[in-house]
Amino acid sequence: MNPGSLIHACLDGEISPEERERLESILRDDWEARRLYLELADLHARLLREPSVSTGRITSVAARRKTRTRPVVLAILAAAAAIVVSGAFWMSRPATEDESVSSGVAMLGETMDAVFSGDGLRAGDTLVPGRVNLESGLAQIEFFSGATLLAEGRAELEVISAWEVRCLSGRIRVRVPPAAKGFLVYSPDLKLEDLGTEFALNVRDGASDVHVFEGEVIAHTGVKAPESLTDGMSLAHGDLPVTPGSFLPLGDLAGQRLSRAESRYRDWQSWSQQVARDPGVIGYYPMERPGDDRWDRLVRNAAEPRVPSRAGGAVGVRWTEGRWPQKDALEFKRPGDRVRLNLEGTYQAITLACWVKVDSVDKKYNSLLLTDGYENGEPHWQIYEDGSLMFSIIYRPEGGERTGKWNQMYFSRPVFTAESLGRWHHLAVTYDGESGEVVQYFDGNEVGRGVSALHVPRREVVFGPCEIGNWGLPTEGHQFPVRNLNGAIDEFLIQGTACSPLEILAMYERGRPRP
C-alpha cells in the first residue's frame, strides 16, 4: 500500500496494526506525508460533520434571522441543561437552513428622529406584514405596490400587504400613484379606497377625519352608502369642521433631513481637516468632486503637506451622492471602474479605512484596495464572497514557488448580509508588521483579529501602483481576475501606523451618516 492508501485506510478505520506502524513511520520521516494526512483528515472530518455544500454566499434576510437567533438560544438552553444534568455539554451546530422566500411587502423609506416600539427599525429595512408602531418622529413607508405613506408622531399602523394598510391611531398622509390605484387604507371606522391621489387621515380614539388634497377617494363607512371624496373635500367624524391645516403637512421630512444632514456633514468636515494634517497619513481621499478639474477625473489627496504624486485618477467611476446630500462619493459598477493610485514608501504598520455602500457582493473577491499584481509586502484588502472582510499580505521567500501559498490571510466574520447591503458602513483594518496582528473593524466594532502562522516580524509593507475598487494587474493566469466593487466609496484613508480601536471608533462616530 502506498502512503496515500494507508492514510485513507486509517481514516476509514480499516487499518491493521502493522499497516498503522508503517503509516506512523512514514509520518515521522516525511513532512509532506504529514501534510497530506492533515489535509485528508480535515476533509474527512468536515464531511463527517457537514456532508453537503455549506452555505457559501450571503443568505437571505429571513434565513439569516432564523439562524442567528433561534439556534443560539436553543444552544444556550441545551448547554445550560446539559451542565446541570451531567456537568458536560455538547452543542449541535445550527442547521443550515434553506434559502427562504422574502415575504416583504413594503420598505421603510426616509425617517427623521423616528423611534419605533419593539424592533428597532431602520431606514431601508424591508417590512413584512405586521404592526409598525411609531413612538415619535417622522417615517415614510414605501409599499411595493407603489403607494407611499408618511406618519408623524405617535402612530399605530398595521402593514397588511403591498396593497393594504390599517391605521389604528395617529396622523398619516398617503400618496397613491396611478400604478397603485385601489390601495386600501383601513381605520377603525372607515375603509378608504384610493383611486390615485393624495390624502391625509387622522385617527384618534377610534374615529377618523379624512382630507383629500388631490384626486379621488371612496370612503366606506359601513353605515351610509360609500362616499366619494375629491380634491379639497374633508370627512369629519364629529360635528366640528376640519381644516387642511389639522392634517400632516408634506415637505417637513425632506427639509428637516437636509438640515440634520448639514450639521452631520459639517461635523465630519471639521474632523476631516484634522485627519488631513495627521503626519501618519499616507493618502487621504475624502472623495469630494473637485470643482477645478474640468475632466472631473481627479481624486484629490487631502493629506497635508500636499504630495501631488499621490492624487488618485478616476477611471470609469461616476460621481454620486455620498453619506449626505452635500457629500460626494464615487460609484463603482462596471468591470473597468477603478481609482488609480501610486503610493511610494515602505511602512512598518498600516491602517486602511473607508466608508462604503456595497450594493452586492457578487464576485468571489470584491476589491477595496489592491496593489497591482502581488509582490512581497503588498497588501490586498477585499470583501470575500461570504460577506466577510479579507486582508492579506504576501511575503514569498527567495526561490519560493510562484503558485505557493505565501500570503498571510485574515478573514473577519461575515459583515455584509442582506441587512447591511445598500447602506453606508465604515470598514477598517490595521496591520502591525512587528506583532503580525491584523484587526478588522465594521462600523467601529472589532469583527476579526489574528496573527498568521506565516508571520515573521519586521517585514515592511509597500504599496506602489495600486487601485481602489478593482484589481489593476491580476497575476498572470489567475482564475479570479475580475474583482471590481459593486457599490460606492465615500472617503478612503491610508495610514502608515496601526490605529487603536478607539481611533477607529472615533472615525466611525465622526463620520456616520446619522446620529
Partner 1 sequence: MSGEPQKSSTESLILLLTEHQERLFRYIFSLVPVEADAKDILQETSVALFRKFDQYDPARPFLPWAYRFAYLQVQKHRGKSSRSPLLFSEDVIDLLAAERERHEPVLEERLRLLDRCLEKLTPDDRALLTSRYARHESAESMMRRFSLSRRTLFRNLEGLRRRLHDCVTRHLETEGLA
Residue 466 · residue 341 · CB < 8 Å: yes
Instruction: Give the helix ranges, DSSP H, for 122-198.
Output: none
Q: Which of 132, 394, 415, 488 binds partner 1 (CB under 8 A)?
A: 394
What span, in angstroms and rounded, lies between the C-alpha atoms of 316 and 473? Answer: 16
Stretch that binds partner 1, among 245-253, 427-435, 458-466, 501-509 (CB under 8 A): 501-509
148-161 and 130-143: which strand pairing?
Answer: antiparallel
84 lies in the site for partner 1, by CB under 8 A: no
91 lies in the site for partner 1, by CB under 8 A: yes
Stretch that binds partner 1, among 149-157, 345-353, 398-406, 424-432 (CB under 8 A): 398-406
What span, in angstroms and rounded, lies between the C-alpha atoms of 173 and 250? Answer: 8
Half-sphere exposure of 396 (CA within 13 A, CB side): 11
DSSP designation for 421: T
Q: Which of 84, 453, 457, 515 binds partner 1 (CB under 8 A)?
A: 453
Say how many C-beta atoms besides its own lie within 10 A of residue 340's C-beta: 18
Give, as ranges, the residues between 7 and 36 that touch partner 1 (CB under 8 A).
8-17, 20, 24, 27-28, 31, 34-35
CB of 487 to partner 1, least distance (A): 20
CB of 448 to partner 1, least distance (A): 10
41 lies in the site for partner 1, by CB under 8 A: yes
What span, in angstroms and rounded, lies between the C-alpha atoms of 129 and 161? Answer: 6
Q: Which residue, 8 or 65, has its beta carbon nearer to partner 1?
A: 8
In three-state secondary structure terms, 93 is coil
Give, as ranges, the residues between 161 and 200 that touch partner 1 (CB under 8 A).
none
Q: Which residue, 12 or 292, has its beta carbon nearer to partner 1?
A: 12
Give, as ranges, the residues between 47 and 66 that touch partner 1 (CB under 8 A).
47-54, 56
Q: Which residue, 91 or 128, has its beta carbon nearer to partner 1?
A: 91
Q: Which of 135, 345, 360, 480 binds partner 1 (CB under 8 A)?
A: 480
Q: Which residue, 13 or 291, has its beta carbon nearer to partner 1?
A: 13
Residues with Cβ within 8 Å of 318's Cβ and at least 6 positions away in sequence, in order, are: 330, 331, 333
Q: Which of 60, 234, 269, 407 binds partner 1 (CB under 8 A)?
A: 407
Give, as ranges, the residues between 94 and 113 that touch partner 1 (CB under 8 A).
94
CB of 340 to partner 1, least distance (A): 21
Q: Which residue, 16 or 270, has its beta carbon nearer to partner 1?
A: 16
Alpha carbon separation from 150 to 141, 167, 220, 245, 474 (Å, rounded): 6, 12, 22, 16, 49
164-176 and 184-187: which strand pairing?
Answer: parallel
Beta-ladder partners of 380: 370, 392
Q: Phi, psi (5° rounding) for residue 486?
A: -110, 95
Peptide bond into 305 cis (omega under 30): yes
466 lies in the site for partner 1, by CB under 8 A: no
Residue 349 · residue 430 · CB < 8 Å: yes
In three-state secondary structure terms, 13 is coil
Q: Which of 84, 85, 88, 101 binds partner 1 (CB under 8 A)?
A: 88
In three-state secondary structure terms, 142 is strand
254 lies in the site for partner 1, by CB under 8 A: no
What span, in angstroms and rounded, lies between the C-alpha atoms of 288 and 307? Answer: 17
The site for partner 1, by CB under 8 A, has a size of: 84
What span, in angstroms and rounded, lies between the C-alpha atoms of 430 and 444? Answer: 12
Q: Name the grid cell of 336.
A: 473597468
Stretch that binds partner 1, among 151-159, 314-322, 342-350, 472-480 (CB under 8 A): 472-480
CB of 313 to partner 1, least distance (A): 26
Give, as ranges, the residues between 412 and 441 that touch partner 1 (CB under 8 A).
413
380 lies in the site for partner 1, by CB under 8 A: yes
Q: How long, in residues, is the chain?
A: 515
Stretch that binds partner 1, among 90-98, 246-254, 355-363, 484-492 (CB under 8 A): 90-98
Stretch that binds partner 1, among 187-195, 222-230, 347-355, 449-457 (CB under 8 A): 449-457
214 lies in the site for partner 1, by CB under 8 A: no
Structure-derived torsion over alpha carbons of residues 267, 270, 272, 275, reported in degrees to the nearest 10: -130
Residue with cell 501618519: 280
Residue with cell 472615525: 507
Binding mask 349-368 for partner 1 (x = CB under 8 A): ----------------x---
Stretch that binds partner 1, among 5-13, 124-132, 195-203, 308-316 (CB under 8 A): 5-13
Q: Which residue, 79 or 107, has its beta carbon nearer to partner 1?
A: 79
Q: Which residue, 102 or 445, has its beta carbon nearer to partner 1?
A: 445
CB of 34 to partner 1, least distance (A): 5
Apex 478 CA angle, 475 and 482, nearest 5: 95
What span, in angstroms and rounded, lies between the C-alpha atoms of 181 and 25? Answer: 80
Stretch that binds partner 1, among 271-279, 319-327, 426-434, 443-451 (CB under 8 A): 443-451
